[in-house]
Amino acid sequence: MKIKNIKKYVYEFLSVFFAVTFAFLLDSWNQNKNQRLTEKTILTEIYNGLERDSIDLHNDELTMQYNLKAVDYFRKIVNNVEVDNDSLATYYFYLTRDAVTIQNTSGYETLKSVGLEIIENDSLRKAIIDLYEVRYKLYQKFTEEYDENKYMRNYFEKINRSIAPNFNYDPRGNIIGINQPINLEEEEKKLVLSYLWRLQVNRLDREGAIKGNKVKIGEIRALIKEHIQ
């Protein structure tokens, strides 16, 4: 009778034990499944956002190329090298044009609200944090907050004062050309050339930052694509 009772108790204990264990494992499995689904959803949002960022950076790079061409164009004018009048208005527009950064951070903000640890892959998680918390913030500060990169405020009036008096306009007030040579005094010429040099150096720095961010975005998108497939 005692052996029979012991078997009964053991059977009941094992039944309860396996039922609890199975329920726990099922709950853990469901939680893990939900986490992986959440992770995939957030990473997909980040992946798509980075694609838009890449397009914006490409457009920034094209603008930077126009900025640099504008510097070369006006350097020729200062040095009394004849230029094409048809390009004057375009390059005048781009010469001291300020820049605004556009970064799509909605996916990353969602990730932070859920918890960064939702991303299993340590390398991927660190790369995403580095991009948004370091590279993007430094790029924005460099572009919008660094005083020397406020081109319109720092350089427009100084350059304009020497060059704009030589512009020609049509009856509607549109710029149509420039009288050449402008024959600046040597001191004034050197000052304008120094401003153009600073514009060129600053634009080249930003162009380098753009290219670096484009490479980093490409690497992270490749990691995300591999991880969620």
pLDDT tens, position by position, 91-137: 999 999 987 788 889 999 999 999 999 998 999 999 999 999 999 99
pLDDT of residue 8: 61
* Residue 178 parent element (H or E): strand 175-178
Q: How many domains does the chain have?
A: 1
CB atoms under 10 Å from CB of 95, counted, come to 24
Tell me which residue range forms the domain holding 84: 2-228
pLDDT of residue 21: 66
* Residue 22 parent element (H or E): helix 2-78
Is the distance from CB of 210 to CB of 61 less than 8 angstroms?
yes
Farthest CA pair distance, the chain = 120
Of 27-31, 83-87, 116-120, 126-130, least confident by mean pLDDT is 27-31
Res. 10: pLDDT tops 90: no
Give the Cα separation of 84 and 39 in Å (integer): 55
Give the Cα separation of 226 and 16 in Å (integer): 42
**CA within 13 Å, CB half, 83:** 28
Cβ contacts of 55 within 8 Å, gap of 6 or more: none
Residue 196's closest CA among 158, 145, 146? 158
**Which residue's structure tokens are 């300020």?**
98
What is the rounded average pLDDT for all residues in the chain? 88
- Distances in Å between the Cα of 160 and the Cα atoms of 142, 174, 189, 224 are 25, 16, 12, 48
pLDDT of residue 180: 93
Give the Cα separation of 33 and 90 in Å (integer): 56
pLDDT of residue 32: 66
Q: Please report which confidence band the pLDDT of residue 146 belongs to, taking 50, 70 and 90 as the band edges.
A: confident
Is the distance from CB of 135 to CB of 189 less than 8 angstroms?
no
Give the Cα separation of 111 and 119 in Å (integer): 9
Give the Cα separation of 55 and 60 in Å (integer): 9
Amino acid at 29: W
What is the model's pTM?
0.81
* Residue 115 backbone phi and psi in degrees, to 5: 125, 125
